[in-house]
Chains A and B, each alone.
Chain A
Amino acid sequence: MQKLDNTTALRNLSALIDFSNLINSSLDLDFTLNNILLTCLGKFHTTKGIIALVNDSLILEVKASKGVSENVIKSFPALKVEEIYNKQEFNEYLISNSFEILQTINSSAGVKGILILGKKFTNLPYDESDKEFLKTILNVGATAIENSLIVNKLKSVNRELDTKVNQLKSLFDLSKEFSGILQPDKIGKLLVYTLIGHLLVSNYAVIVCEKDNYTFLESSFNENNLKTFLNECLANKFDKPVLSNELKKNYSTIYNAGIELIVPMQIKGETKGLILLGKRKNNLPYSQTDIEFISSLGSLAILSIENAKLFKEMLEKQRMERDLETARNIQKNLLPKTIPELSNLSLVAYNISAKIVGGDYYDIVKLDDDNVLIAIADVSGKGVSASLLMANLQAFLKSICKQKLPLNEATNLINDLVVENTMMGNFITFFWCIFKNSTKQLTYVNAGHNPPLLIRNSTITKLKKGGMILGFLPTTVTYVSETIQLESDDVIVMFTDGITEAMNKNFEEYTDERLEKLVLENSKDEPESILEKIKESVNEFIGGAEQNDDITCLIMKVR
């Protein structure tokens, strides 16, 4: 008997050594668990067994099984380790599936899991020595299990780290790339490539929002469906990422369109755009890390898009400034460089352009030895278009002068030319006159211009005769001219509304009355001095306020 016991003990010991060698030879958890189960099945002559280990949520989870059906594994109750002996549900599970013995797997850190085995094939009960042997096997196995678990954990931590490193690389890569791109659509494309490559999605949209407007930079969704959605709920309502659950609940149209995640692209907490993503191809949900990654990418992208926009605006502004400069140069070159001298007339002229370039024009043309033509005009509009119209007017005026037509007929002609050559809504207020030096006669036509002031003996006569503004309608009612006999010391002041409508900081206008009073008071002076007084008075009035209109003034005095 003694000998038999010894033999059994020896066999158990050698089996244990074999088992220990085998089980510690691998760090693979499945290998370890399988071997524990197979060793138990062989040793105790039983046909089934399960090993359940404690998972991260401290619940027992079946990790290996032998000889049991899928259903038995599925119906394994969710329970904590401390509940295994006192939970009725688990007890019933063991009985109904004919499990007869249960043993915990213990390590230095506490209970790691449990092993349960079915009835012995021989129908004999498990005796004390069986239980002792099982405990010993599991004690040896526990270390191997723990090592395998640690290795598994390390592997998963490593993978997480690799993912993070890869995300960082992507961010670094893009931040480098974005800074050199000034086209928003290219930025959108790179953003999309990085997102779909990193997250394995094939449905996406990148939307840039500006107030109530939005543009699709990239989209693989049906844009019309999304437009309806964007109209319904203003894009800037999204100030944090929205996941599929909330989309399903609150934005069912967009959820049904296949969108699983919306991440806002923000600058200083303000939503400037949205990234919409569909389902991931690997069916994984979007994790917090994923969303953080998408947000970071989104912020990088929107910042670059904003920069690109600012750069474009700057270019546009520079272009406009160049245009204005061109316009200013055109205008400057249209004005006469010298004033012809006449024995019976002193003449001075002054013109200053407002910042945005208006359309004042004046000209003085010596027609022959006795006659000089003087014109003043205000072309509607600003900038290049006004300059071009002004250049047209000058060309018409110069060529008509050569035809030596009566002034009223010439005005009919010039009006028709302007009508033909201007777009709708453009017009010119125009006054021109011919001064005959020998007789001191002045013939003029006023086409809707501020009437020049004729000052004689401290009274003002306004030179109003003519017709309507140039360019408004083809000539049907012909223009009329008037001829006045001027006398010595008569003063004529021609001006544009830049003077009478000059505005001070309180938005008050200089007015005709102020101008009339001033010229009356100073009509005895020489034209240069009268002009200086007008300039001074206007400047004093506006007090440094920026002017929107050009200022032009011509003053003639008969000798």
Chain B
Amino acid sequence: MADFNVNLRRFESVSIIDVKGYLDAHTAPMLESVFNKLLEEKNFRVVVNFNELNYISSAGLGVFMAYIETMRQNNGDIKFTNLKDNVYNIFDLLGFPLLYEFYKDEKEAIKKFIDQEKS
């Protein structure tokens, strides 16, 4: 079984998801359940930290597609940070940078949410 781990943290009003290992068709449901939990709790501001993610498949990308609209409709968003080059390349290849915000560092993404809240 592919190694995948997902962890949820909070920073003020922002939820941070740490993804680790391989995100593919097999492990996608684990990420999905985290997103479902966030929706239930009405947490729509999400930063996904890819620091320890080594591989992402199309099914993994699909999970983000499935939740982005709901998050945005509720004045939230999903922002991506700390991507390794090989993972970013897949996002880039499929045109994700057109739709999502990518940041080098998690702090930048969190700051964006918090600034937005203040304004």
> A residues bordering B, Cβ < 8 Å?
159, 162-163, 166-167, 169-170, 173-174, 176-177, 189-190, 192-202, 281-282, 284
Q: Say yes or no: A173-B59 contact (C-beta < 8 A), given A166-B90, A190-B28, A197-B65.
A: yes
In the complex, which of the residues B57, B64, B68, B93 contacts A159, with contact meaning CB atoms closer than 8 Å? B93
Contact, CB under 8 Å: A193 / B59: yes
Q: Say yes or no: A190-B25 contact (C-beta < 8 A), given A197-B64, A201-B65.
A: yes
- Is B58 in the interface zone, CB < 8 Å from A? yes
- Is B24 in the interface zone, CB < 8 Å from A? yes
In the complex, which of the residues B62, B68, B94 contacts A193, with contact meaning CB atoms closer than 8 Å? B62
Q: Mask for B10-34, Cβ within 8 A of A = 1, else 0?
A: 0000000000000011101100000
What B residues does A198 contact at CB under 8 A?
58, 61-62, 94
Q: Which residues between 84 and 100 of chain B lie within 8 Å of chain A, taking CB atoms?
A: 89-90, 93-96, 98-99
Complex: chain A residue closest to B95, CB-CB = A282
Contact, CB under 8 Å: B89 / A197: no
What B residues does A193 contact at CB under 8 A?
25, 28, 58-63, 65-66
19 other contacts beyond A199-B94, A282-B98, with CB at 8 A cut-off? A166-B58, A170-B57, A170-B58, A173-B26, A173-B58, A177-B24, A193-B59, A193-B60, A193-B63, A193-B66, A194-B57, A196-B62, A197-B58, A197-B63, A198-B62, A200-B95, A281-B95, A282-B95, A284-B95
Contact, CB under 8 Å: B93 / A162: yes
Complex: chain B residue closest to A203, CB-CB = B69
What A residues does B93 contact at CB under 8 A?
159, 162-163, 166
Contact, CB under 8 Å: A194 / B25: yes
What B residues does A201 contact at CB under 8 A?
65
> B residues bordering A, Cβ < 8 Å?
24-26, 28-29, 57-66, 68-69, 89-90, 93-96, 98-99
What A residues does B58 contact at CB under 8 A?
166-167, 169-170, 173, 193-195, 197-198
In the complex, which of the residues A162, A166, A177, A200 contacts B25, with contact meaning CB atoms closer than 8 Å? A177
Q: How far is the CB of A7 from chain B (nearest CB, A)?
A: 53
Bound-state Cα–Cα, A284 to B66, Å? 19
Complex: chain B residue closest to A190, CB-CB = B25
Q: How far is the CB of B47 from chain A (nearest CB, A)?
A: 19
Q: Say yes or no: A190-B68 contact (C-beta < 8 A), given A163-B93, A282-B95.
A: no
5 A-B interface contacts by CB (under 8 A): A169-B57, A173-B57, A197-B57, A202-B69, A281-B65
What B residues does A163 contact at CB under 8 A?
93-94
Contact, CB under 8 Å: B99 / A200: yes
What A residues does B66 contact at CB under 8 A?
192-193, 196, 202
